[in-house]
């Protein structure tokens, strides 16, 4: 029995998901839901676009073709980190740049205060999940994806660079206020709410002052 090939492009999956999120964002912004309008909405949009780009570059096109899956899946694993850095592989620089936005966005959308180590661990965990899923796709579909330890290292470095760039911007008086204005409400870097007046403390009446 002859084999068959199925090819799925990113626009067939990613585009509808991104459009659905845009509709949700627009609906909540119109209703004035806290954290879903103004610059907070822009941050959510940027995060969604980054996630869509990540999926596009790491998973698509998805090609289902078992007939071409001739190499055992474990031969698709490159477990030694640093080889791409030593050989100046251009894909290493691309993987670093791919995760820089994540390092910038994470502290702006996470409620808990993130350290450099916490950001790096989250980037490493996401990168590991991508590599494992790519390997699983190869084993199941013959998709031609490999799991590379250099990708883990490059993605983590990229996320850490993004975090350091954000920290540098927060330390500058010229840019700190602007950066904080993009942080989601309730996050450590968010600006305190303005326009709220604190009612004055009640003053004691004449009888109370007479007893004093």
Q: Which residues pair with 20 in a beta bridge?
A: none
Q: What is the pLDDT of residues 27-70, one digit of tens each?
A: 999 999 999 999 999 999 999 999 999 999 999 988 887 666 56
**pLDDT of the residue at 138:** 83
68 located within any domain: yes
Read off the pLDDT band of 197 (50, 70, 90): very low
34 located within any domain: yes
124 located within any domain: yes
80 located within any domain: yes
The total domain count for the chain is 1
* Cα–Cα distance, 32 to 27 (Å, whole number): 9
Mean pLDDT of the chain: 85
In terms of residue numbers, what domain contains 148?
6-191
* Cα–Cα distance, 23 to 9 (Å, whole number): 22
Read off the pLDDT band of 210 (50, 70, 90): low
How much is the pTM?
Answer: 0.82
Contacts of 47 (CB under 8 A, 6+ apart): 105, 109
Cβ contact 146:135 at 8 Å: yes
Helix locations, 87-204, DSSP H: 90-109, 116-141, 149-171, 173-180
DSSP structure class, residue 201: P
Answer yes or no: is pLDDT of 1 > 80.
no
* Cα–Cα distance, 148 to 119 (Å, whole number): 21
Answer yes or no: is pLDDT of 205 > 70.
no
**pLDDT of the residue at 146:** 77
198 located within any domain: no
Answer yes or no: is pLDDT of 202 > 50.
yes
1 located within any domain: no
202 located within any domain: no
**pLDDT of the residue at 38:** 92
114 located within any domain: yes
Q: What is the pLDDT of residues 111-143, one digit of tens each?
A: 989 999 999 999 999 999 999 998 888 888 777
Cβ contact 150:89 at 8 Å: yes
């Amino acid at each position: 029995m002859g084999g068959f090939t199925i090819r799925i492009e990113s626009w067939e999956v990613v585009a509808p998901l991104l459009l659905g999120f845009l509709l949700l964002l627009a609906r909540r912004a119109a209703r004035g839901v806290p954290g879903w309008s103004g610059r907070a909405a822009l941050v959510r949009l940027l995060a969604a676009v980054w996630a869509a780009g990540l999926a596009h570059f790491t998973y698509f096109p998805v090609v289902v073709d078992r007939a071409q899956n001739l190499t055992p899946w474990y031969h698709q694993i490159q477990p030694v980190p640093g080889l791409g850095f030593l050989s100046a592989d251009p894909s290493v620089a691309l993987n670093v740049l791919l995760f820089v936005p994540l390092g910038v966005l994470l502290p702006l959308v996470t409620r808990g205060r993130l350290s450099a180590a916490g950001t790096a661990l989250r980037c490493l965990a996401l990168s590991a999940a991508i590599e494992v899923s790519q390997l699983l796709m190869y084993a199941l579909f013959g998709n031609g994806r490999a799991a590379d330890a250099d990708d883990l290292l490059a993605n983590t470095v990229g996320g850490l660079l993004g975090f350091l760039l954000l920290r540098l911007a927060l330390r500058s008086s010229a840019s700190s206020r602007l950066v904080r204005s993009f942080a989601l409400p309730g996050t450590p870097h968010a600006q305190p709410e303005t326009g709220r007046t604190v009612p004055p403390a009640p003053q004691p009446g004449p009888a109370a002052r007479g007893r004093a």
